[in-house]
Every structure is written in C-alpha cells, then in structure tokens.
Amino acid sequence: MTALVGHLINGEMITDTNTRTQDVFNPSTGGVDKQVALASKKTVEEAIASAKAAFPEWRNTPPNKRARVMFRFKELLEKNADTICKLIGQEHGKISHDAAGELQRGIENVEYACGAPELLKGEHSKNVGPNIDSWSEFQPLGVVAGITPFNFPAMVPMWMFPLAIVCGNTFILKPSERDPSSTLYIAQLLHEAGLPDGVLNVVNGDKEAVDVLLTHQDIKAVSFVGSTPIAEYIYTTANANGKRCQALGGAKNHAIIMPDADMDNAINQLVGAAFGSCGERCMALSVAVAVGDEAADTLVTKMSEAMKSLKVGAFDNASNDFGPVISAAHKQKVQGYITSAEKEGAKIVVDGRDIAVEGHEQGFFVGATLIDNVTTTMESYEAEIFGPVLQVMRVKTMEEAMTLINDHEYGNGTCIFTRDGEAARYFSDNIQVGMVGINVPLPVPVAYHSFGGWKRSLFGDLHAYGPDGVRFYTKRKTITQRWPSSGVREGVSMSFPS
C-alpha cells in the first residue's frame, strides 16, 4: 500500500476523511512513492482554530523561553540531517550534498531566530518631555501563514516559521504538495524540541487550501515564495482581505562577463550557479552576458569543455553533480524552451534534451544545456526556464549589458565577473536588481541580512528573513507615559503637544 502523507494539526498527525490525494513522485525513477492528502477547507480551518487557541499563551511566553525551543530545534536538525536530506532527495531529486547545503542555510535562519531576546527588545527614550518617557515594542501579529515551493522544501519554510514563532506568532505552513515529507518531518522535530501544540501547524494541499489561508479573517499575514503569476495572485488576494503579505516571485538572473574577468574562475562559478540543483533555484544564473565577441567565444569554448565532466543522476550517489527536475511535465517544459530557442535562431552548443541515466531511464532528467546567440525577443529569454540551461548573450559594452538586465521584468539576482573595481562599483550602484554579486554568482544573503528581489520578483515592501523578517512578523506599538509629581496639577492646554 502506498504511504499517505497527512497534516500536522495541534501536535497530531491527521488525514482528512474521504480526502482528495495527489501522487508524490520520485523524480529519479519516475515512480510514485507516496500520496499526499490535500486538505479540505474544513481541515485548514481546524488548523487555524488550533493556532488561534495557542496564540494567547505563546504570545505571553518570554522571548528567551521561545529561543530555548529554537536552540533545541537546531540540535535536532543537525542530529537528523541525514534523514532530512534523504527525504529531500527522494521527493525532489536533489543530490545529497546539495540537500545538505540547503539544510544548512535553513539552520542558519534558526540560529538567527535564537536571538529573539535581542531582536525584540524594542527602543526606549527617557524624558522626551517633562517626566514623560516613550518606548516602542514589537508585538506579534497573531496567526500567520507561509506557502512554500517545491525547490527548497527544508530551507524556505525555515525562512519563515522559526522567526515568526520566536516573535510570538503561531503559524500555519502550507508546503509544496510535490515534496511534503521533509517539511513535515522538520515540523515534527520542532515539536520534539518542546514547541507547544498548535503553535506550528502543517497542512498539505493545493489551491483550495491556499485560498482559505488568503481569505480567513484569523490569518493576519501571509509569506509566499514561488512563481511570479502565483505571487501576484497571493499578494493581491491577501491584500484584498486585509492581510500583510510578502510574496517572492520568479527570476531571470544575469551574469555579466567583462573582458578582464578571470575566465577560468568565472567558468567554475557559472557551472555551479547555472546547473546546481538542476537549475531549479530562483537564484540560478540562467543568462551569461558576455561583453565583446572575444570574451563570448572564450566563455562558450571553456564552458563547453567544463560541462563534459558533469555527472547527472540519482540523489543517493554523492558523486553526481545534479539530479532530475521535479516532474515529467516540467521536463517537457524545459525541453520545449530549448527547442524554441533553436527554432528562433539560437545555437545549441551543448544539448541536454536527450540525456539518459542508466538504471533510471524513466526519471525526469534533463542534461546541462548551453545555448549561444540568444536575443531578448526569444521566448526562452523572456521566461524563467527553471532548468539546467545557460543562455549566452553577446553585447558590445557593459552599459548595453546593464540596460538589458534593467529592462527585464524580473529583478531578483545578478552578478558581474571583473577585476575592475570601478566597473564593479558602478554596476552595483546602478543595476536595478535586489541582490547583487561581485565575482559571486549566487549572492544569497546570509541569515542576518534579508532576501528579496526588485520589480516583479517581489510583491510587498519587506524582504524575507533577517531584520525585515522581524519587522514583517511584528507590529510596532509606541507607548508614551507620564507620572506627574505629587501634588502638581497641570492646567488645560489646547495646543498640540510638543
């Protein structure tokens, strides 16, 4: 019998009665390993009710006690890392070393959340007026929700719920129904660390579950990571229902290759940034913009050679560089973008469309692909491919390269490879992108900064995790207090206080 993945509500694992289900595939084999229960409206409402009931006591739990739960949670994550990485590999296809890197970045966000007493201590001013003191507090919102994508089933949820919880909120997590097991296992570890029942609830589901979270009056804020069309829907719907929302969308990340770049270093960096995790990263570098034909020719020649050594295969062989894409449908979509580029006049230098992995012939594999002579009018350039495809564009100047980056609808991440400090500084000052690397291809901020793009890569004012995360999951309250001296009576004043 195929295992059924359920929900975690009020500290207990449950499944709906007569529930709808969806297959969970092993992308390396193409086979169905499990099924996941898709939450009904009633089930999501039960989770929200559980979180609402848990909120008053958790809100009043001292921040240092909340932080101690996170310290124990961190230890359990590290202790059970192999199990978590195996679950990621089985359902996502991510190679074990890549899954371990994802988990570590998630743990770093837990470490940041352990600083709750410092993060929440507020601001104080004495004697802002005669015998008047004023201070600000950062209070929790209530019940908040997170909707997370398939490509980082461990890390992205930990961008959200650890910080939201240590800030005093209770949380409803709706992970991707494509690879739910690692997310659910991690939530169980948090309960093992001592989190009270109802503070974190996990509901698996599809649009039916999402729409309940977006419209229910008891949900005060929603965090989302996924594609831009869905991010826009999430943001618009949440706002229409009076909720705070941060919705991180898609990307088309460019790397400018300057003529003076250390080309060997750039190639090594680009290989990992373009093809790591099979390109299924919102920070994947999918476009290399070479300044000058000489740089472009060298880039294409050296990249083609470097790609020959890449190993594609199943998650449990650590010698593999990357694994399959998430589904058969997504495999066809990625292959379709490669074909469209070819039909529109681009040159397929390295073709990964027909790759076969011995022993895993039914897996959802796409090989590393390199495409030259791409232009801005091509479908493959305009879209987020989300696969192991690197496109090369040729321009004459750095200004031309920056213009095409700034003109693109997405503004998530970008980088420049150069030895010229003046060029690097000009680039970082003037590029219209939220996360910028200088000789760093994946400029993902560390946990004590914040993550987010510009333009249609982010809907909302606050970025994810870090300082912005604290502000997103709290509301400021400012108190002004006076204790008049004994026996002193003040007269009536009709003027505005100053």
Domain presence at residue 494? no
Domain presence at residue 487? no
pLDDT value, residue 17: 60
Residue 289 contacts residue 391 (beta carbons within 8 Å): no
Task: Tell whether 30 and 142 lie within a shared domain.
Answer: yes
| pLDDT tens-place string over residues 248-279 | 999 999 999 999 999 999 999 999 999 999 99
CA dist 145 and 143 (Å) reads 7
Task: Tell whether 267 and 379 lie within a shared domain.
Answer: yes
Give the structural domain span for 388. Answer: 253-438
Neighbours of 75 (CB within 10 A): 14
Domain presence at residue 452? no
Contacts of 1 (CB under 8 A, 6+ apart): none
CA dist 177 and 333 (Å) reads 19
Domain of residue 86, CATH code = 3.40.605.10
Residue at token pair 């994508």: 149
CA dist 225 and 250 (Å) reads 9
Task: Tell whether 328 and 228 lie within a shared domain.
Answer: no
pLDDT band at 388 (very low <50, low <70, confident <90, very high): very high
Averaged pLDDT for residues 458-473: 97
Residue 33 contacts residue 24 (beta carbons within 8 Å): yes
Q: Which two tokens stand for residue 92?
A: 């996502």
Active-site hit among 85, 167, 278, 282 = 282
pLDDT value, residue 18: 63
Task: Tell whether 224 and 360 lie within a shared domain.
Answer: no
Domain presence at residue 491? no
pTM of the model: 0.95
CA dist 19 and 9 (Å) reads 16
Task: Tell whether 263 and 278 lie within a shared domain.
Answer: yes
| pLDDT tens-place string over residues 396-446 | 999 999 999 999 999 999 999 999 999 999 999 999 999 999 999 999 999
pLDDT value, residue 484: 77
CA dist 105 and 71 (Å) reads 16
Task: Report the chain's mean pLDDT, rounded to a whole number.
Answer: 96
Contacts of 475 (CB under 8 A, 6+ apart): 138, 139, 140, 141
Task: Tell whether 231 and 275 lie within a shared domain.
Answer: no
Task: Tell whether 166 and 187 lie within a shared domain.
Answer: yes
Residue 113 contacts residue 201 (beta carbons within 8 Å): no
Task: Tell whether 67 and 204 lie within a shared domain.
Answer: yes
Domain presence at residue 155? yes
Task: Tell whether 235 and 305 lie within a shared domain.
Answer: no
Task: Tell whether 162 and 273 lie within a shared domain.
Answer: no
Q: Indicate if the pLDDT at residue 1 is higher than 80.
A: no
Domain presence at residue 495? no
pLDDT band at 154 (very low <50, low <70, confident <90, very high): very high
Total domains, the chain:
2
DSSP state at residue 277: G
pLDDT value, residue 315: 95
The residue length of the chain stands at 498
Averaged pLDDT for residues 210-219: 98
- Residue type for 316, please? D
Domain of residue 395, CATH code = 3.40.309.10
Handedness of CA 393, 225, 272, 466 (dihedral sign): positive
Q: Indicate if the pLDDT at residue 214 is higher than 90.
A: yes
CA dist 390 and 400 (Å) reads 19
Domain presence at residue 339? yes
Task: Tell whether 221 and 288 lie within a shared domain.
Answer: no
Task: Tell whether 197 and 333 lie within a shared domain.
Answer: no
pLDDT value, residue 124: 94
Q: Indicate if the pLDDT at residue 16 is higher than 70.
A: no
Q: Indicate if the pLDDT at residue 234 is higher than 90.
A: yes
pLDDT value, residue 490: 73
Would residue 282 show up in a list of annotated catalytic residues for this protein?
A: yes
Domain presence at residue 490? no
Beta bridge partners, 46, equal none
Task: Look at residues 147, 285, 162, 293 and name the one whose alpha carbon lies nearest to residue 208.
Answer: 147
Averaged pLDDT for residues 81-101: 97
Q: Indicate if the pLDDT at residue 159 is higher than 90.
A: yes
Averaged pLDDT for residues 49-68: 98
